[in-house]
Amino acid sequence: METLSQHLEYLGLCGDDTEAEDQILESLNGILLALTEDKQRSFSLLRESGIFVTLAKILKGNPRCAVKAAQVLSEIAKNDEMKKPCIEADLVLTLIPLLESTDQEMLLHAGRAIGRICYDNRDLQEELVKVGVISSLVRILTDYAESEPLVHVDLLALCNLADLDTAKEALSKTKVAEQLVKQLRRAENHERLEIIFEVLQALAENDALKVQLVEAGVQEVLSDILLRLQGNSQAENTCIVKAASDLIVSLLLGDGNCIRMVQVGVIHQLLDLLEKHVESGDVSVQHAALSALRNLAIPADAAEILGQDPMLLNRLVQWCDVKDHAGVHGEANRLLASILRHNRSQEVVKAVQEAQGVKHLVSMTTSEHAALQNEALNALAIASAIDLETLEASFKESQLVQSLHRLLQDDNTTPEVKYNSMGLLCSLLNSGDLRQEIEEDKIKETLERLCSHSNANVVKEAAATLQVLKGEPPH
C-alpha cells in the first residue's frame, strides 16, 4: 500500500509530463498490481488521491500511456463506489473517442471501462447514445468480428443499451442486424448465444430493425439452431430453444413486418419447425411456433400472398387433419380461417377450395370454443360473399346448412355464434341449390322461434334472415 501511495503521488505530480512516459507506465502498472493484492484498501487510497483527473489527462494527451490508463480505469470501475468519482471526472466522455482507435487492446479496455461505469445508469447510457457510441460499437463488431474478447465486450455494451428507444433508433441506421446474425451463426457456447438473443429480443421491438434482421436471414439461423438442439433436453439447451422460439414470435408481430416475413418464406420455416418438433415431441418449440402462427396478424396484402401459396395451403390442410395434436390442429384451422377473413380476392377463395380447406372450416364452426366458431363463420361468410359459386359443392358435401341449423337449434350456442350463423345463411341463400337445402331442412321454423330470443341482436338477425328467405328485400 505504501508503494501504491508513492505511485499515486508521482502520477498526481507528473501525470501530464509526456517526457516521463516510462515512469508513468510503471506507476500505472503499480496500481494494477496493488488492485490484485488488496482491492478494498487500494480503492480507498485511490478515492482519496484524486487520481481520476490525472487519468483523464493521460487518456487525452499521452497516447503511449493511454492504453494502460484505460486498463487501470476498467479495473477500478469494477467497484460500484468508484463509479461516482469516474463520472465526476468526466471520464466517460474522455473514453468515448478512444473507441475509434485501431489498437485492439485500447478498444478492449476502453470498452470495458465505459461499460462498467455506465452499467445500470440510464442517464449516462442515454448520454452515450447521444454522443454517438452506437456507430463505434457497430464498427468494432464489424471490423473485429473474429476477436472473441472484443466481440464479448461489444455485445455486453449493446445488451446494456438495446432497451433504450434512442439506441434502437440509432442502431436502425447501421448494419448491426447483419453483424448480429453473423455472430449468431458463429456462436458456439451458451453464454454467447444468450447474450446475442438478449440483444436481438430487444431490437425486435423496433419495426425497422425487425425487417433488417429478417433481411439478414436471422430466421434461417434460428431454424438451424433449433434443429441442432432438437431433442436435446439439457436445461441450458432448452433455454436457448425457448429464446430462439420467442424471438421468432417477436419477429412476426406487426403488420408491415408480417408481410415481409411472408415474402421471405418464414411461414414455411415455422411449419418445418413444427413438423420436426411434433415428431420429437418438443412441446416448447411447438408452442412457440404455434404462437408465432397465432400472432401472424395477417393484413389483407399478406393474406393474399399466403392464400395463393398452394404448398402452404396444402400443408395447413394436412395439419387441420392431425387429430392427435390438438394445439397444432387448432392453430392450423385458425390460420386457414384468418387467411380467408383478411382476404378480398377470388383467387384466394379458389386456392383454399382446391387445397380442400373448406370442409375443415365447416367442421371448425362446430368447435367447442365459441371464439373459433366465430372465426370460421366469419371466414366462410366473407368467402361466400366473394365467390359462392366456387364453394357451393364443398358446402353441400360437408353439410354446412345442416351444421348451421344445429347451431341455431342448440340452446347452448352463444348469441354471437347464432348471429354469425344467420349472417352466413343469408349469403348461402344466394345459391339456388343451397336455398333448396335451407328450405328442406325447415330452418324457417327455427328462425321464427329465434324471433323471441332473449338477445336483441339475435332477434334482429333472425327477422332479417327470414325476410331474405321469403325473398323480400331486407329493411
**Closest to 276 measured CA to CA, from 329, 221, 231:** 231
What does the pLDDT read at residue 278?
A: 64
Phi, psi of 459 (to 5 degrees): -60, -50
Least confident of 16-30, 110-124, 243-257, 414-428: 243-257
For 204, which DSSP code? T
Provide the percentage of residues in the chain whose pLDDT is more than 90. 63
- Confidence category of residue 327, pLDDT binned at 50, 70, 90: confident
The most confident of 216-220, 308-312, 345-349, by mean pLDDT:
345-349
Residue 279 has pLDDT above 80, yes or no: no
What does the pLDDT read at residue 246?
A: 79
HEC string for 69-86: HHHHHHHHCCCHHHHHHH
Length of the chain in residues, anyone?
475
Torsion angle in degrees (nearest 10) through CA of 429, 433, 434, 435? 40
**pLDDT (tens digit, 9 = 90+) per residue, 93-133?**
999 999 999 999 999 999 999 999 999 999 999 999 999 99
Contact 458, 450 (CB under 8 A): yes
For 455, which DSSP code? S
Contact 169, 183 (CB under 8 A): no
- Confidence category of residue 227, pLDDT binned at 50, 70, 90: confident
189 against 248, higher pLDDT:
189
Q: Which long-range contacts (CB under 8 A, 24 or more apart) does 367-370 make?
A: 370/414, 370/416, 370/417
Residue 165 and residue 168: Cα distance in Å, rounded?
5
The most confident of 168-177, 210-219, 285-294, by mean pLDDT:
168-177
Q: Distance from first CA to last CA of the chain, Å, rounded?
A: 96
Q: Who's near 410: CB < 8 A, 6+ residues apart?
A: none
**pLDDT (tens digit, 9 = 90+) per residue, 407-431?**
999 999 999 999 999 999 999 999 9
Contact 93, 131 (CB under 8 A): yes
Q: Who's near 93: CB < 8 A, 6+ residues apart?
A: 127, 131
**Closest to 113 measured CA to CA, from 171, 29, 191, 55:** 55
168 against 20, higher pLDDT:
168
B/e letters for 56-80, b = 16+ CB within 10 Å, e = fewer, are: bbbbeebeebbbbbbbbbbbbbebe
Kindly state the cell numbers that stand for 154. 461489444
- Confidence category of residue 284, pLDDT binned at 50, 70, 90: low
Residue 419 and residue 413: Cα distance in Å, rounded?
10
